[in-house]
């Protein structure tokens, strides 16, 4: 099958977005032709094609008319992580850390606070970092201003770890404006992330 997409007049990144959608409907051997009106779109489409493992050619017809022709291959998506030699992704896929309180273990709260601080610090020192950290109930305090773990969590976040705090909990403790690291989430996403995790760690 051959399909032609007219992406002329579309601002970046729409040509790539539309080509991605179209290519998902196509099968191996199909040909996707994309019309665009600028050189940047051609280069981005060629990056997209090689990302997917498709063979592509770009052609300039005039100053405002370019075509990119891609031959769709099977599920031959080139894994980008493997292609990168310089920077290693140190996150372990599927590893989820749940911080359900601002203290660790039950007993003296002062000790519990110190333990939690040490736990988050130790997390930053691991060779393999978690994919995601979920904070709920009084765990919400950990991601907010004044938290002793803030710098460690910010470091983890900067390494690519997704940090999410329960919105209901933030509202309950009056912390909504104080979040200083990560995003805010809801119970659906908490459940989904837990279901999807291959490993859940709870201090």
Partner 1 sequence: METQVKLTKLATCAGCGAKMGAGTLAKMLEGFKTHSDPRLIVGYDKSDDASVYVLSEDLALIQTTDFFPPIVDDPYLYGKIAATNALSDVYAMGGEPKLALNILCAAESMEDKTIREILRGGYDAAYEAGAIITGGHTIKGAEPFYGLAVSGFVHPDKVLTNSGARPGDVLLLTKPLGVGILTTAAKAGMAEGAVMDRIYRQMATLNKTARDIMVQYPVHSCTDVTGFGLLGHSYEMAQGSGCTLHLQADQVPYHPEALEFADMGLVPAGAYRNRDYAQPGVKVCREIPLALEDIFYDPQTSGGLLIAMPTEAAEACLAELQKQIPRAARIGYVTELQDAAIKLE
Which residues are tagged catalytic? 12
Tell whether residue 192 is a contact of partner 1 (CB under 8 A).
no
Determine the Cα–Cα distance for residues 80 and 3; give it in Å rounded to an integer.
27
Rounded to 5°, the CA angle 157-50-11 comes to 75
Closest CA to 190 of 171, 172, 174, 168: 168
> What's the min distance (Å) between Cβ of 156 and partner 1?
9
CA torsion angle 167 125 91 45 (round to 10): 90
| Residues 74 to 113 in contact with partner 1, rule: CB under 8 A | 80-81, 83-87, 89
| 8-state DSSP, 10 | P
Please count the residues of this chain forming the interface with partner 1, following the rule CB under 8 A.
41
Tell me the C-alpha distance between 132 and 96, whole Å: 5
DSSP 56-116: EEEEEEETTEEEEEEE--SS----HHHH--SS---EEEEEEEEE-SSS-SSS-HHHHHHHH
Minimum CB–partner distance for residue 89 and partner 1 (Å): 6
183 forms part of the interface with partner 1 (CB under 8 A): yes
What is the per-residue binding string for partner 1 in 5-34, x denoting contact by CB under 8 A?
------xxxx-xx--x--------------
User: By C-beta, is 14 or 111 nearer to partner 1?
Assistant: 14
> Do the Cβ atoms of 46 and 83 come closer than 8 Å?
no
The single residue among 130, 167, 182, 203 that binds partner 1, judged by CB under 8 A, is 182
Among 43, 186, 198, 199, which residue sits at the site for partner 1 (rule: CB under 8 A)? 43
* Chain residues 125-154 in contact with partner 1, contact rule CB under 8 A: 151, 154
Q: Which is nearer to partner 1, 42 or 103 (CB)?
A: 42
CB of 183 to partner 1, least distance (A): 3
Angle (deg, nearest 10), helices 150-158 and 109-124: 20
Which chain residues interact with partner 1 by CB under 8 A?
11-14, 16-17, 20, 38-40, 43-49, 51, 80-81, 83-87, 89, 151, 154-155, 157-160, 162-164, 181-185
């Amino acid at each position: 099958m051959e399909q032609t997409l007219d992406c002329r007049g579309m601002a970046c990144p729409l040509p790539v977005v539309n080509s991605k959608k179209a290519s998902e409907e196509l099968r191996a051997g199909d040909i996707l032709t994309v019309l665009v009106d600028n050189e940047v779109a051609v280069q981005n489409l060629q990056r997209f094609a090689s990302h997917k493992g498709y063979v592509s050619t770009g052609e300039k017809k005039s100053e405002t008319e370019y075509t990119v022709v891609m031959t769709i291959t099977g599920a031959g998506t080139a894994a980008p992580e493997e292609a990168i030699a310089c920077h290693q992704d140190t996150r372990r896929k599927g590893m989820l850390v749940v911080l359900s309180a601002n203290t660790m273990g039950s007993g003296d709260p002062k000790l519990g606070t110190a333990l939690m601080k040490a736990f988050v610090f130790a997390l930053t020192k691991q060779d393999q970092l978690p994919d995601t950290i979920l904070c709920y109930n009084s765990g919400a305090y950990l991601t907010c201003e004044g938290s002793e773990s803030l710098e460690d969590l910010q470091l983890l976040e900067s390494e690519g770890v997704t940090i999410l705090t329960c919105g209901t909990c933030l509202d309950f403790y009056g912390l909504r404006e104080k979040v200083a690291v990560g995003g805010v989430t809801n119970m659906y996403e908490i459940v989904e992330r837990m279901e999807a995790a291959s490993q859940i760690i709870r201090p």
